[in-house]
Structure 1
Amino acid sequence: MRDRLHRQICRRGFNRELGSFVQSFDSAVLDASVLLLPIFGFLSFKDERVKSTMDVLQKKLSRDGFIYRFSPSSRKDRESAFIACSFWMVQNLVGAGRLLDAERLFEKLISQRNDVGLLSEEYNPEQRRFMGNFPQALSHIALINAARKLASHQAHS
């Protein structure tokens, strides 16, 4: 059953026209939560579909390096870049062997912390301010996991 589901997700959850995994089966809606696929071990960071997805999301869901969960052009005015997705991108960059890009993005993200080192749920890069829930545990968990991924890669280099 697990293998059948895996095949179905790979077949129907990857949009060949977009070159990316998408929000739901047979969809064309980008959703940066698919960055979790290699993080959770569903596919390898080296899988071509994973690397293509990462590139598409950087092109379509990124503003000034910050990753939006959904398309910034179709978002509600109150939505901004999702900080957890941005740290998930760091992990994907490390996994794809793009260490310098991962380090740059990580440094940019942590430079946005407030005076006591906290992050919110979202960040608006245009207004340069926190949005959404504050502080946000998911953002901090994603930060820790990204830092661990960077550190483990650097220790093996």
Structure 2
Amino acid sequence: MQAFGTSGPIATWRATAEKLRRLILDQSWDEEAQCLSEATTAAIAERLSAGDGLHYRYLHDHSPDGLPGAEGAFVLCSFWLVDNLILHSHMGRAEELNASLCARANPVGLLPEQIDPATGAFMGNFPQAFSHIGIIASGVNLVRVKAGMTA
């Protein structure tokens, strides 16, 4: 705040910022995974990968939801990764992932809630609004960045 010439309880803000920094590092660092737990793009993409560009919304073995049946890869999560790659200026990877996800739509362009990563079979709700929100949002973000606009 001093750099902007404004006043306020700067010492208090700095102390609070340091407490937050320590809290995050002390309580969020996962030594085994070597990342801030469930917080960094690379760690999330790797840890939640179902393979072939698909991602789970959580690790079923570590966080069972109590619902019967198998959980597939959650399509919207993969589109979120597209958006995150765009925001980190990894356009090639974002475009590649987006194209692979779009290619999974059925012949009339509809997507399911989940996809079985082993077989590619559609699972869960079909058609799924969340998946279609993802495909639209990621497409818009790609076009905006290519046009020189912000995502």
Residue of structure 1 equivalent to 2:48:
61
SS at match of 2:147: helix
- Distance in 2 between residues matched to 1:132 and 1:12, nearest whole Å: 35
1:119-130 matched pairs, under 5 angstroms: 119-130=111-122
- Distance in 1 between residues matched to 2:44 and 2:116, nearest whole Å: 17
Who wins on radius of gyration, i.e. which is larger? 2
Q: Which amino acid aligns with 2:58?
A: F
**CA displacement at 1:21 relative to structure 2:** 4.8
Q: Which amino acid aligns with 2:36?
A: S
Q: Tell me the TM-score normalized by structure 1.
A: 0.68
Q: Which amino acid aligns with 2:44?
A: L
**CA displacement at 1:125 relative to structure 2:** 2.1
1:2-151 matched pairs, under 5 angstroms: 11-12=23-24, 15-17=28-30, 18=33, 19-22=35-38, 53-62=40-49, 63-71=51-59, 77-151=69-143
Q: Which amino acid aligns with 1:122?
A: Q
Moved over 6 A (4+): none
Q: Which amino acid aligns with 2:87?
A: G
- Distance in 2 between residues matched to 1:118 and 1:67, nearest whole Å: 18
**CA displacement at 1:78 relative to structure 2:** 1.6
**CA displacement at 1:15 relative to structure 2:** 2.0
SS at match of 2:115: strand
**CA displacement at 1:120 relative to structure 2:** 0.5
Count of aligned pairs: 124
**CA displacement at 1:73 relative to structure 2:** 5.1
Unaligned runs of 5+ in 2: 1-12
**CA displacement at 1:77 relative to structure 2:** 5.0
Unaligned runs of 5+ in 1: 23-49
Q: Which amino acid aligns with 1:55?
A: A
**CA displacement at 1:12 relative to structure 2:** 4.9
**CA displacement at 1:148 relative to structure 2:** 0.9
Aligned CA-pair RMSD? 2.8
Q: Tell me the TM-score normalized by structure 2.
A: 0.71
1:71-98 Cα distance to aligned partner (Å, 9 max, x none): 2655675201100111000000000110
Q: Which amino acid aligns with 1:102?
A: A
- C-alpha change, 1:73 and 1:108, in structure 2 (3 Å) is farther
CA contact (8 A) 1:58 1:65 kept: no
